Structure 1
Amino acid sequence: MPRFSLSPRGLLTCLITASLSQAVFASDGPVTPSTQTATLNAAVLQTLPFSDRTDFESVSKGLIAPFKGQIKDAAGKVIWNTHAYDFLASDKAPASVNPSLWRLAQLNAHAGLFEVSPKLYQVRGLDLANMTIIEGDDGLIIIDPLTMAETARAALDLYYANRPHKPVVAVIYSHTHVDHFGGVRGVIDEADVKAGKVKVYAPVGFMEHVMSENVMAGNAMSRRAQYQFGSLLPRSEKGQVDAGLGKSAPSGGTVTLIPPTDLIAEPLETRTIAGLQVEFQLTPGTEAPAEMNLYLPELKALCMAENATQMMHNILTPRGAQVRDAKAWSQYLDASLVRYGDKADVLFAQHNWPTWGGERIRTLLADQRDMYAFINDRTLHLLNQGLTPLEIADTIKKLPGALDQKWYTRGYYGSLSFNTRAVYQRYMGFYDGNPANLNPLPPADTAKRTVEAMGGGAAVLEKMRTAIASADYRWAAQLGNQLLFAEPDNADARKAQAEALEQMGYQSENATWRNMYLTGAMELRNGVPPQSANTVSVDMVRAMSPEMFFDYLAVRLDSDKAVAHDLTLNWTFEDVQKDFNLTLRNGVLTHRAGLNPKAEAGVSLSRDTLEKISLKQLDFPTAMQKGLVKLQGNGQKFALLMGSLDTFGPQFNIVTP
């Protein structure tokens, strides 16, 4: 999953503070479902096996203690509220929600402590992901301690209220997405980790990929994740009903991180943890760049991390990430099927609900293997015939054979449309081969010329309204996008575009597509909301190596400002006795280990001081006055470098230029 919730905006901002002002437009609220939308949604009831209630039996199986209520942070702010989804109680889907998605939303609303099998428990519905708790001989093993420390603590408290109070002796991060590690300080104390009382396991490459995704591209991913998960939408029949993998990410709270003590580096590796054998199966390049499945022989239980959930997953998430390898994904699923298919009595994952019974487990693994293999192979088949990404996406309408009728292959989170384009991108890049697309005009310029060529804004708006009236919402949205990028303050165009997006959102079976459509419509009606509460992770800053810090400085560097100001700078971390030299040349910042004897300036400070500056608890001028930062040589060179750094605004425009 990747996923969005670290909100690393503001990390390492040193000297520059961002300010953000957005226009706010009066809202008349979302539209009602059109007759055509209601008809299309009603027809879904005739195309899928709604009489199959197996998942409703599975999702409630083993319930020990339901959870209904709120979770609050230290300041008393509600960050999780199951009652926000009470509207899902109706068996009949409203016309504003695809019935298939309504069904999933009801399933994901089951929250509480569940016994998966003896010694194996899950807390579900207290966060986007699940927290798995295994009872070992001398303590508890926790797999994936959720997104926030507050939700993780609430999950562990729920377990302790119903089971014997054993200490946590191990935490396992199944992969690198924040909803699978961010709550770790809610379940363990770092002092116990340092004392050797608790071990933290993760796949090799864990820290590198956590930093890459959540810091280097974190600002943009965080903003786009607001669309993907519908975090800004009201929970309602016309708003957010689900996020596919779960209800949503917590709204606020404390993201934490304790670096792993033990890395799993071999393709198959067995460890004894809390008296139990745990076999790890590394699956790099699948749902995350660093990910692993687990098998527990004594319990005959197979944990598929996020590689086999109760739906189609993403080959490329809408929030952004590295493109995943659909072929490798299918091959790892097959390897799991071969190695564990005849040994497992229960398959559980870190989202959704478990699957019990050997035959059902084998069928699920085989079906999901076939699904990802089909997405990969069929896309390659069509691209080798010359079809472009959008043509491929419009050609592959559904999965082949019986796969299309399986609930656990439906596109609730990933989608065929997005996934086929992701496979194309992996093999061919974003360019579709047409020379007209080698160097197109940017969106705003294209829009202005297109609108002019179509007869002006009034003519385009009339065409939009005609398309909406005939339920041609895709075309209406394409027209509206051109008009809004040409005339972003056109209130009538905003309203019409919002209506088209809302109707497509109401029709969508995919939870993330619904959220993205409806979030876009909401921002067209109301403007971009102001920055949400800053949830900069102290642990994320502390976990950054000096090399990662300098890499991020290079990302923040405005090369236009810096291009004529070459310099060399030595940088010393006094407390850890590490030296680096930075070179600014051609508007590019690079770094090396060690000091450069020809450096024009030097700066010395401790890691602690850098962390405080990074978290805006201190600034460089104050630190220098207090003697916490020492400058040598030409101090203006250091000031020039700092003055060339940008701070990224967290709430940039998406549906308007």
Structure 2
Amino acid sequence: MVAAPSQGLAQTPSPHTGRTGAAAALGPLNSPVRSTNPAAFESRAVLDHLAPIAWESDNLAYTDEAPTVHPAQTAFARMMTKKIQEPVKDKIYLVSGFQAASTLIVVGDQGLIVVDPGSDDDSAKASFDAFKRLRPEAGALPVVVIVYTHRHIDHAFGAAGFGVTQADIDAGKVKVIASTNFIDNLVSDVGVVGNILTQRTAYAGGYVAPGPQGPVHFGLGPAFGAGPISFFLPTDLVPANQPLKTTIAGIELEIFPAYGDAGDDEIDIYFPQFRHVHGSETIQGETFPNLYTLRGTSYRDVQQWMKGVETTLEYARKSDTYSGSHMRAWKGNEFIVERIQNYRDAIQYVHDQSIYLINLGYKRDQLADMVVLPEPYASDPWLQEYYGAVAHSVRNIYDGYLGWWQGDATDLAKPDFMETARQYVRVMGGRDKVLEEGRSAIAARNYGWAAEVLTHLTRAEPRDMEARRLKAEALRNWGYAQTNIYWRMYGIAGAMELDGTLDRSKPWNFTDPAIVRVLPTNKILSTMSVRLNAERAKGQNLSVQFIIADTGEKSGFHVRNQIAAFSEGELAGATVTIRGNKAAILQTVATGRLSDGVEVGGSIEVASRFLGLFEVIAPNDVNLLLPPGVPIK
């Protein structure tokens, strides 16, 4: 529902206040927790339409009740047992519960088709081993196709766990299929914003041990593997505007572009022989979709996502079974169509009502309290806010259409970031008064307000450990009360950054060498420009040619006027040339130092000076709450 605009925000009740029983004990009445119905997961309406389970085992999620875990989170986690469903007997299997993503295995005449091998080789191997125990004869068949439904870290980096090798791909024994937009989008994730994406993703659960004070699941699956990864370049690309129709190992596939969680590199699959559709992450598991992800992303076009769902829905209308890249598989045409139709309509509702209010002059943050899912979406078990949330999605819609500015020149006129915090502390009566207000708010379980007022103090004096610990207490308790896993973990991990207890030694690295060394060298080199330290580059005028000996690629940079202008191919009038094989060149640009195996044509001093202009960033040194450079301990 949307509050009547004539009421005004002050008279509009927050949609997040209705909590009773155990949920209420976790936090204050004004804590933003969406009402949920955990029992819906076990209702006959749900269970009767799940695809048959051929095998089931233990659960990697944290499933015990705890005072620091919302009961709805516990109920959601209990669905995430390791299991193999059989949507199409003897032919199509969905393996879930071993990692964040679910893997589809299709048994062909001469081999297996594997859709989304997963996040890492160890988790993938565990998935495959379970399948081979269930179907030994089928498991003995070679994998002949790997499909990456999109580029995200939980989907495309475990193919070696299914026995795939580069030698088999080079020999034509294995096809790797992905969207035509897959590589460019992956390069952006890895080379442009890889450092900050690594950190923000780790805060969502990668740094904190699973359990009652950490992640109880990962929103779309029970666990996230941290084993070695593998990556192979696609051999076959799905066009951006039409399906790829092919037959492999006797299996007909219609692989079609359908915008979703990954934007325009999302692809879904229809198996006409079996009347089965795989919705990948166009349909994002059993949760309201992440129309914006808190870990950070370029704009997810909500209207395009809705159209992607419509495309998938057309295939669903001629399907009897359904699977996706997360969670459980379904059966029953009417049920499948209803779920996807509701999903599509819920997206439109949130989009249209956001725009409606925007056009009346409501501001971005007001939308979060005013746009609330009505029935039938509110009670749909597949639209609860365990991963995506309306409140953080509507802000994305505002920014996507209008950008960050909300029309009040105060945002342009106010003092700078740190000075604003200092002035707030002064007006509130100084440090002790701010601490007093924070303690009072925490005592009243008003954790959101406590975090708000204490934020000014931690910004004004980021080394004030008393203020940091107090804000950490507020955020931690707020996080414990959340049903949305992102909200929970950003509260908990943020608290740990503030109080110095966060162990940031093991992030999942978006810039992992296993990925970087496979991507086209020139594409990776082109992203160096965003690491240029403009202050160091002041007054520099350098032209540097890179020659990658083993791939034949050439590219270069002209540093001028405090930018690094990239060009592919020969660079006329280069000051120096840096030549070497791909591994040596990548090592050189990653470390900012000339590595063994590179040759410099021209002055070594100039080459070293050029490399020194670019920042070498360690992702796990980046703060999200404290200013850059402030130690967390």
Query: Structure 1 length normalisation: TM-score?
Result: 0.85
Q: Which residue identity lines up with residue 496 of structure 2 in the other structure?
A: M
Select the residue among 33, 54, 78 that pairs with 1:64: 54
Structure 1 counterpart SS, 2:378: helix
Is the counterpart of residue 200 in structure 1 residue 190 in structure 2? no
| Post-superposition offset of 1:152 | 0.9
Is the counterpart of residue 113 in structure 1 residue 84 in structure 2? yes
Q: Which residue identity lines up with residue 392 of structure 1 in the other structure?
A: L
1:389-404 to 2 correspondence within 5 Å?
Answer: 389-396=364-371, 398-404=372-378
Is the counterpart of residue 411 in structure 1 residue 385 in structure 2? yes
Structure 2 contact 302–351 (Cα < 8 Å) conserved? yes
Please name the residue that 2:448 is paired with.
474
| Post-superposition offset of 1:35 | 7.2
Counterparts of 1:169 and 1:47, CA distance in 2? 42
Please name the residue that 1:223 is paired with.
199
Select the residue among 133, 141, 159 that pairs with 2:105: 133
Please name the residue that 2:330 is paired with.
355
Alpha carbons of structure 1 residues 272 and 51: separation in structure 2 relative to 1, 3 Å: closer
Alpha carbons of structure 1 residues 511 and 56: separation in structure 2 relative to 1, 3 Å: farther
Counterparts of 1:244 and 1:393, CA distance in 2? 21
Select the residue among 117, 133, 137 that pairs with 1:161: 133
Alpha carbons of structure 1 residues 335 and 593: separation in structure 2 relative to 1, 3 Å: closer
| Post-superposition offset of 1:592 | 1.9
Select the residue among 460, 463, 467 that pairs with 1:489: 463
Is the counterpart of residue 209 in structure 1 residue 185 in structure 2? yes
Q: Deviations over 1:477-516 (max 9, x none)?
A: 1011111112223333223212221222122111111111
Counterparts of 2:618 and 2:32, CA distance in 1? 43
Please name the residue that 1:96 is paired with.
68
| Post-superposition offset of 1:614 | 5.8
Structure 1 counterpart SS, 2:118: coil
Structure 1 counterpart SS, 2:388: coil
| Post-superposition offset of 1:139 | 0.7
Q: Which residue identity lines up with residue 124 of structure 2 in the other structure?
A: A
Q: Which residue identity lines up with residue 93 of structure 2 in the other structure?
A: Y
Counterparts of 2:34 and 2:543, CA distance in 1? 67
Select the residue among 231, 250, 275 that pairs with 1:257: 231
Counterparts of 2:34 and 2:588, CA distance in 1? 56
Please name the residue that 2:619 is paired with.
650
Structure 2 contact 40–381 (Cα < 8 Å) conserved? no
Structure 2 contact 288–387 (Cα < 8 Å) conserved? yes
Alpha carbons of structure 1 residues 586 and 439: separation in structure 2 relative to 1, 3 Å: farther
Structure 2 counterpart SS, 1:598: coil
| Post-superposition offset of 1:575 | 3.1
Q: Which residue identity lines up with residue 150 of structure 1 in the other structure?
A: D
| Post-superposition offset of 1:615 | 7.0
Structure 1 contact 176–288 (Cα < 8 Å) conserved? no
Please name the residue that 1:521 is paired with.
495
| Post-superposition offset of 1:537 | 3.1
Select the residue among 551, 554, 559 that pairs with 1:579: 554
Structure 2 counterpart SS, 1:298: helix
Counterparts of 1:193 and 1:621, CA distance in 2? 33
Q: Which residue identity lines up with residue 473 of structure 1 in the other structure?
A: Y
Structure 1 contact 286–328 (Cα < 8 Å) conserved? no
Structure 2 counterpart SS, 1:318: coil
1:308-347 to 2 correspondence within 5 Å?
Answer: 308=283, 309-337=285-313, 339-347=314-322
Counterparts of 1:533 and 1:312, CA distance in 2? 27
Is the counterpart of residue 499 in structure 1 residue 473 in structure 2? yes
| Post-superposition offset of 1:269 | 2.8
Alpha carbons of structure 1 residues 525 and 315: separation in structure 2 relative to 1, 3 Å: same
Please name the residue that 1:172 is paired with.
147
Q: Which residue identity lines up with residue 488 of structure 2 in the other structure?
A: R
Please name the residue that 1:511 is paired with.
485
| Post-superposition offset of 1:276 | 1.1
Q: Deviations over 1:193-227 (max 9, x none)?
A: 10001111111111111111123101101101122
Q: Which residue identity lines up with residue 131 of structure 1 in the other structure?
A: T
Structure 2 gaps, min length 5 = 1-21, 628-633
Structure 2 counterpart SS, 1:569: strand
Counterparts of 1:36 and 1:439, CA distance in 2? 42
Counterparts of 1:175 and 1:196, CA distance in 2? 22
Structure 2 counterpart SS, 1:595: coil
Counterparts of 1:261 and 1:540, CA distance in 2? 16
Structure 2 contact 547–555 (Cα < 8 Å) conserved? yes
1:526-545 to 2 correspondence within 5 Å?
Answer: 526-532=500-506, 537-545=512-520
Counterparts of 2:119 and 2:312, CA distance in 1? 27
Counterparts of 1:586 and 1:194, CA distance in 2? 44
Please name the residue that 2:10 is paired with.
none
Please name the residue that 2:11 is paired with.
none
Q: Which residue identity lines up with residue 377 of structure 1 in the other structure?
A: D
Counterparts of 1:324 and 1:175, CA distance in 2? 14
Structure 1 contact 149–256 (Cα < 8 Å) conserved? yes
Structure 2 contact 263–305 (Cα < 8 Å) conserved? no
Please name the residue that 2:606 is paired with.
637
Select between 111-120 and 313-322 the one with higher mean Cα deviation: 111-120
Structure 1 contact 148–182 (Cα < 8 Å) conserved? yes
Select between 567-576 and 421-430 the one with higher mean Cα deviation: 567-576
Structure 2 contact 111–142 (Cα < 8 Å) conserved? yes
Query: Structure 2 length normalisation: TM-score?
Result: 0.88
Q: Which residue identity lines up with residue 418 of structure 2 in the other structure?
A: A
Q: Deviations over 1:512-549 (max 9, x none)?
A: 11111111122323344243278563332222323223
- CA RMSD in angstroms, aligned pairs only: 2.6
| Post-superposition offset of 1:377 | 0.9
Structure 1 counterpart SS, 2:517: helix
Counterparts of 1:493 and 1:236, CA distance in 2? 27
Alpha carbons of structure 1 residues 456 and 204: separation in structure 2 relative to 1, 3 Å: same
Select the residue among 157, 165, 189 that pairs with 1:189: 165
Alpha carbons of structure 1 residues 51 and 607: separation in structure 2 relative to 1, 3 Å: closer
Structure 1 contact 34–503 (Cα < 8 Å) conserved? no
Please name the residue that 1:7 is paired with.
none
Q: Deviations over 1:611-651 (max 9, x none)?
A: 454677xx85552xxxx322223333212111111111322
| Post-superposition offset of 1:47 | 6.4
Higher relative contact order (CA 8 A, sep 6+): 1
Counterparts of 1:573 and 1:39, CA distance in 2? 59
Counterparts of 1:341 and 1:646, CA distance in 2? 49
Structure 1 counterpart SS, 2:134: coil
Please name the residue that 1:280 is paired with.
255
Q: Which residue identity lines up with residue 526 of structure 1 in the other structure?
A: G
Alpha carbons of structure 1 residues 494 and 569: separation in structure 2 relative to 1, 3 Å: closer
Alpha carbons of structure 1 residues 484 and 340: separation in structure 2 relative to 1, 3 Å: same
Q: Deviations over 1:548-585 (max 9, x none)?
A: 23222212211110121111122222333333332000
Alpha carbons of structure 1 residues 590 and 473: separation in structure 2 relative to 1, 3 Å: same
Select between 472-481 and 590-599 the one with higher mean Cα deviation: 590-599
Counterparts of 2:83 and 2:433, CA distance in 1? 54
Counterparts of 1:214 and 1:594, CA distance in 2? 22
Counterparts of 2:134 and 2:392, CA distance in 1? 42
Structure 2 counterpart SS, 1:179: coil
Counterparts of 2:141 and 2:590, CA distance in 1? 36
1:134-153 to 2 correspondence within 5 Å?
Answer: 134-153=106-125
| Post-superposition offset of 1:267 | 2.0
